[in-house]
Amino acid sequence: RSMSATLYVLSTLGGYVLTSALLLKCPGLLHRPKRQRFRCRHISHRGGAGENLENTMTAFRHAVNLGTDMLELDCHLTKDEQVVVSHDENLKRSTGVDVNISDLKYSELPPYLGKLDVTFEKECQCEGKDRRIPLLEEVFEAFPTTPINIDIKMNNNVLIKKVSELMTQYKREHLTVWGNANYEIVSKCFKENSDVPVIFCAQRVLLLLGLFYTGLLPFIPFKEEFFEIPMPSLIFKLKEPQEMSRGQKFVIWLADMLLMRKALFDHLTARGIQVYIWVLNEEKEYKRAFDLGATGVMTDYPTKLKEFLHNYP
């Protein structure tokens, strides 16, 4: 009896493994691929924070003139409820003034410093003359046909509503993706305007990985259309090796091994879910991402990525 029970379990398990493997390779058998309104390879992070001051109109213009496929930017809300493009809520790092955006009216915002560190490039600074914090509305107005990737930086209902209203006003639902690493923010974005595609938040990325490694991923539907993840190995480039413990190095190595998987990226892209890797600034990083099957790469150096893509098959 126990022998027949064992055989039953093994045959069921074998059937599951084979079905999972087949659907991982051919997800179209179970899921209709998501309708892609735009497809982006070249994405300018904060407009290209290594070539112009981050999140400025000059940076965005430069990237669009180069032919970037998408602008990535960050949004906050001022005291007088204006949606502004800025990465930080507190302006100490970017302007030298220790004040929160939400405590000032738009007209009171200080200008950026003339020189800023490039966050994802070690010991690197970028200079620029355009130091004004722009409104999201200006960006929509200036680039009506350019896809824009919006990071909603605060869990703020008014901010989410205002961004949604602006997208509707500028007829940009088909040209925008929005969200954040925070689960609650992404849920609110989807609820506020389900016409605009959302990204996987950190919590959902972990869930997706769990499903991938247990073979369940091919059976599960998703509302998200964009899988935007960091390349964990970048941390080795940004930190001094002696600053990191053995345990930390192992965790980063493991995260990189688990996350950077061609089978995972190929499955998602076959389902119409775009895979974007951030923030990559060197040729070998670009090459690794695209070789693994990423749809697009976010970079601080749009010129460098453009040159790379020109030579990449």
Which pair of structure tokens corresponds to residue 249?
A: 């190095």
- Find the DSSP H helices in 54-98: 57-66, 92-95
DSSP 199: B
Checking if the pLDDT of 312 tops 90, the result is yes
Positions of E strands within 24-180: 42-45, 70-77, 83-85, 115-117, 125-127, 148-152, 176-179
Query: Residue 232 has which token pair?
Result: 């964990």
148-158 pLDDT per residue, tens: 999 999 999 99
| Token couple for 137 | 């509305």
Nearest 10 degrees: Cα torsion 232, 234, 239, 241: 80
From 312, 288, 307, 310, select the one nearest 234 (Cα to Cα). Answer: 288
% of the chain exceeding 90 in pLDDT: 94
Residue 5 has pLDDT above 90, yes or no: no
**Conformational region of residue 50, where left means phi above 0, alpha means psi within -120 to 50, and beta covers everything else:** alpha
* Domains of the chain, first to last: 41-311 (3.20.20.190)
Average pLDDT, the chain: 97
Q: Average pLDDT, stretch 129-155?
A: 98
Query: Please, which pLDDT band fits residue 286 given cuts at 50, 70 and 90?
Result: very high
Q: Please choose, from the candidates 220, 222, 180, the residue with its C-alpha nearest in 3D space to the C-alpha of residue 201.
A: 180
Kindly give, in sequence order, each residue whose CB lies less than 8 Å from that of residue 120, ignoring residues fewer than 6 positions away: 45, 49, 234, 238, 278, 279, 281, 300
**Residue 1 reports pLDDT greater than 80:** no
Answer whether residue 225 shows pLDDT above 90.
yes
Instruction: Identify the pLDDT of residue 3.
Output: 85
In 3D, which of 227, 174, 212 has the Cα closest to residue 27? 212
Q: Note the residue count of the chain.
A: 313
Distances (CA, A) of 38 to 46, 102, 138, 180: 19, 33, 21, 20
Summarised one tens digit per residue, pLDDT across range 42-76 is 999 999 999 999 999 999 999 999 999 999 999 99
